[in-house]
Structure 1
Amino acid sequence: MSGTQQVKPALGETEGDTGNLTQLEFLALNSEFNIADGHARQALTTGQNKIVDDLPLLFAEGEKRPVEELEREAHAAFFNALGQHSYPIAPGRVLSCYSSSVAMEILSRSLAETIESVALIHPTFDNIADLLRGNGLKLLPLDENMLHDGDLDVGLFASTGCVFVTTPNNPTGRVVSKERLTRLAEQCAAHGAILALDTSFRGFDTRAQYDHYEILQASGVRWVVIEDTGKLWPTLDLKVGMLVHSDNLGLPVEQIYSDILLGVSPLILAMVRRFSEDAAAGGLEHLHRFIASNRAMVRSELAELPGVTVPDPESRASVERVGIENLTGTEVWERLREHNVYALPCRSFHWANPSAGDHTLRLALARSTDPLTQSVRALRHALTQR
């Protein structure tokens, strides 16, 4: 925030399950063997290197051209690359933010103006729960299996004004299908509930790239979608989060947006346009192959270890959970830290019942293969040492 310096924990101040996930990710930032945060940290591709070489040209473009034009082009390139052709193009319907967390804060403050509780998917990344709670909202856990198995219990809608779903989910990678989203939107519309989606990992999974906006707008539901470029491309955390909303939302998102920021950098908008164009021209397919190869390596290295499982065999997201029968995720985190390797224990993903995540660890796959391989071999050692 402007004029405020964010204080981060010093190394050693945050232990395994006592801090939130972002604090644990911060501890990993200076390590070569950081497999904690889900941001893209692999090497640039040839096409992406060309974009970085063109940064002086993009800077000049950002100086000369109207921000509105650059923003419109960035949105079009991003949404179309991910199959979201029905995204709303009317002014104010896509709000560009510094990050998806800023978009989440705007949404949380807006929801708190009109409702008291949110049904939030469980498990999911804990900063969603933290931001909602931090704005005074009561949270009701929405079990991920129940979400995918069929219609929600109608009694749920008597207790909540918003259903919040992450798809693909973080950390499980599960995707809400077109059929389930259609029915979920219909249910929320029928009961007057807002449907909120976080689709930050959409780019990794073609099953999540059907046109969500076509379904949402046809249903008549009041809806909000949080999009993110930060997980896709290794741009040193130069990114854009987007808060996309229906015209009938009835929340003060634009007013609260203006309370928090004026807009994002035109240079970053120009970069997002170029990276999106590269993605549409084959970059996404390359990314999918890269993540799949890293996932296969992780599973191969950990195969046949006693008590070690893969809880999410169908996941295509850029993260991988590892189930550990005989150790807690926090114990493994502590063993890895001795070798300057950092992953994430999964307690905090289970924001309503942390013990449910005691025996899982999350690994980030968007890393160059050599350091990721060394990190996983350190994990294998940590899991086998007495």
Structure 2
Amino acid sequence: MSQLANLTILEVDALTDLDGGLNLTDGHARLVLTEKQAAVVARIPEMFTEAVRRPFPDLEREAHEVFLRTIGQHSAPVGTGRILSCYSSTLATDIVARALPAGTTVAVLHPTFDNIADLMVTRGLSLVPLSEEALLNQDWPGPPVGAIVVTHPNNPTGLITPQGHLRSLAEHAVRHGQTIIIDASFRGQVREAQYDTYAVLDAAGADWIVIEDTGKLWPTHELKIGLLAYSERTTLPIMRAFSESLLAASPVVLQLVRELAVDWGDGGYERARELVERNRAAVARAIEPVGLRLSDPASQISVARVGLPADGPDSSLLHKAMLAKGVHVLPCAPFHWADPEEGLRYIRLSLARPYRTVETGARLLAEAYRELR
């Protein structure tokens, strides 16, 4: 793996593989539409008509309300103008990074998806790691840290920030004048992560920013929305940074999100959970005969890390061996953005794929590991 290869580059390589290799990299849902989802997609021509007939603010507010209610966020500031619709959660993250004052020291969860750290460094921010252990111990960073970034649930580990811990963090941030930034891109996949974080943050009087995402839930081929919500207390120029990046998200995609969220609350969540857990079990079965285990067996998000023993091949070698077999997975060094060496003992597979794809990929991972040993 090149030192310049971040996780997204590896995901693009998988997506554009002309040889048709198995893509088990990104966490997006690359599945066949269910019958109900297909019925929603079939109505897209009607949504174009609605986009012309109805005011954009009405369509946007409805999408925000239905989606956020479906994932338990009843106190989100729907209709206040403090929820912005972006093309993606990555764009939302970049907007936040530009809104923060240059030179701000930001504590970022570690490990987590590398583009959060990359975007912030690119925008002139200074980063320090916040370990998952420190989060679970409620050992919060003080000054000079001006903002704290938590991924909830965390990618790649699936760690959920408990409600009491978020309350503790919010109260700490108020005392020290810090901004809390939550990336909740995988929230829709996990019921336990769907307590009302907006209510917790507001009750503490915190200055907060929350990023939500629809791209991990449905196989809509990048027709998605990243929601950027911010507190009434913030003085950051978020709207200015937003306006420098885009005019608006598509009113057609907003309607698509609204209708798929209705299905998500009417059995879609359970159907997706069943597939993900079946795939997680398939990975565990395939790797057990070669002495490997899932690193996060309690995780509920649509990815799985496989732990590699210290006396065996690391994930950079295993990644290359997998590519030789036509399978794209993610070596985990980039997730450990502050200490890539830590990530060499893990490799990550996406579970949001058809069962046979995951089963085949896991079997070939075990085969590649056995050959390297």
What range is the shorter-chain TM-score in?
over 0.9
The answer to whether the 8 A contact 2:333-2:340 is kept is yes
**Pairing 1:347–2:333 present:** yes
**How far did residue 92 of structure 1 move?**
2.2
Instruction: Please give the alpha-carbon distance, in whole angstroms, between the structure 1 residues aligned to 2:134 and 2:115.
Output: 22
Aligned to 1:247: 232
The answer to whether the 8 A contact 1:17-1:348 is kept is no
Aligned to 1:136: 124
Aligned to 1:338: 324
The answer to whether the 8 A contact 1:345-1:362 is kept is yes
**Pairing 1:181–2:166 present:** yes
Aligned to 1:274: 259
Aligned to 1:329: 315
What is the 5 A alignment of 1:1-386?
Answer: 15=1, 17-30=3-16, 31-112=20-101, 116-152=104-140, 156-306=141-291, 308-325=292-309, 326-386=312-372
* Matched residue SS, 1:237: coil
The one-letter code of the counterpart of 2:45 is: P
Q: Which runs of 5+ in 1 are unaligned?
A: 1-14
* Matched residue SS, 1:176: coil
The answer to whether the 8 A contact 1:16-1:334 is kept is no
Instruction: Please give the alpha-carbon distance, in whole angstroms, between the structure 2 residues aligned to 1:215 and 1:50.
Output: 37
The answer to whether the 8 A contact 2:148-2:179 is kept is yes
Q: Scaled by the length of structure 2, what TM-score is found?
A: 0.96
Instruction: Please give the alpha-carbon distance, in whole angstroms, between the structure 2 residues aligned to 1:220 and 1:54.
Output: 42
The one-letter code of the counterpart of 1:318 is: S
Instruction: Please give the alpha-carbon distance, in whole angstroms, between the structure 2 residues aligned to 1:245 and 1:353.
Output: 30
The answer to whether the 8 A contact 1:71-1:269 is kept is yes
The one-letter code of the counterpart of 2:51 is: G
* Matched residue SS, 2:247: coil
Aligned length: 367
Instruction: Please give the alpha-carbon distance, in whole angstroms, between the structure 1 residues aligned to 2:342 and 2:255.
Output: 43
The answer to whether the 8 A contact 1:311-1:322 is kept is yes
Instruction: Please give the alpha-carbon distance, in whole angstroms, between the structure 2 residues aligned to 1:172 and 1:16.
Output: 24
The one-letter code of the counterpart of 1:345 is: P
- Comparing 57-66 with 277-286, which one deviates more in the overlay? 57-66
Deviation string 1:38-67 (CA, Å, 9 cap, x unpaired) is 111011111101111111112221222111
The answer to whether the 8 A contact 1:92-1:254 is kept is no
* Matched residue SS, 1:244: strand
The answer to whether the 8 A contact 2:157-2:296 is kept is yes
Name the Cα RMSD after superposition: 1.2
Aligned to 1:5: none
The one-letter code of the counterpart of 2:294 is: V
Deviation string 1:328-368 (CA, Å, 9 cap, x unpaired) is 11111111111221000000000000000011101000001
Instruction: Please give the alpha-carbon distance, in whole angstroms, between the structure 1 residues aligned to 2:87 and 2:138.
Output: 35
Deviation string 1:293-345 (CA, Å, 9 cap, x unpaired) is 11111111111322x22211210011100011211111111111112210000
Q: Scaled by the length of structure 1, what TM-score is found?
A: 0.93
**How far did residue 16 of structure 1 move?**
5.2
Instruction: Please give the alpha-carbon distance, in whole angstroms, between the structure 2 residues aligned to 1:139 and 1:349.
Output: 14
Identity of aligned residues (%): 42
The one-letter code of the counterpart of 1:372 is: V
* Matched residue SS, 1:37: coil
Instruction: Please give the alpha-carbon distance, in whole angstroms, between the structure 1 residues aligned to 2:334 and 2:28.
Output: 18
Deviation string 1:185-230 (CA, Å, 9 cap, x unpaired) is 1111111100000000001111101111110111101000011000
The one-letter code of the counterpart of 1:315 is: S
* Matched residue SS, 2:264: helix
The answer to whether the 8 A contact 2:21-2:328 is kept is no
Deviation string 1:168-195 (CA, Å, 9 cap, x unpaired) is 0000000001111111111111111000
Instruction: Please give the alpha-carbon distance, in whole angstroms, between the structure 1 residues aligned to 2:264 and 2:278.
Output: 18
Q: Which runs of 5+ in 2 are unaligned?
A: none
Instruction: Please give the alpha-carbon distance, in whole angstroms, between the structure 2 residues aligned to 1:91 and 1:33.
Output: 44
Instruction: Please give the alpha-carbon distance, in whole angstroms, between the structure 2 residues aligned to 1:66 and 1:176.
Output: 37
The answer to whether the 8 A contact 1:151-1:183 is kept is no
Instruction: Please give the alpha-carbon distance, in whole angstroms, between the structure 2 residues aligned to 1:166 and 1:250.
Output: 22
**How far did residue 112 of structure 1 move?**
2.5
* Matched residue SS, 1:197: strand
Instruction: Please give the alpha-carbon distance, in whole angstroms, between the structure 1 residues aligned to 2:110 and 2:153.
Output: 13
The one-letter code of the counterpart of 2:199 is: E
Deviation string 1:69-107 (CA, Å, 9 cap, x unpaired) is 110010011101100011002432101000001000100
* Matched residue SS, 1:165: strand
* Matched residue SS, 1:317: coil
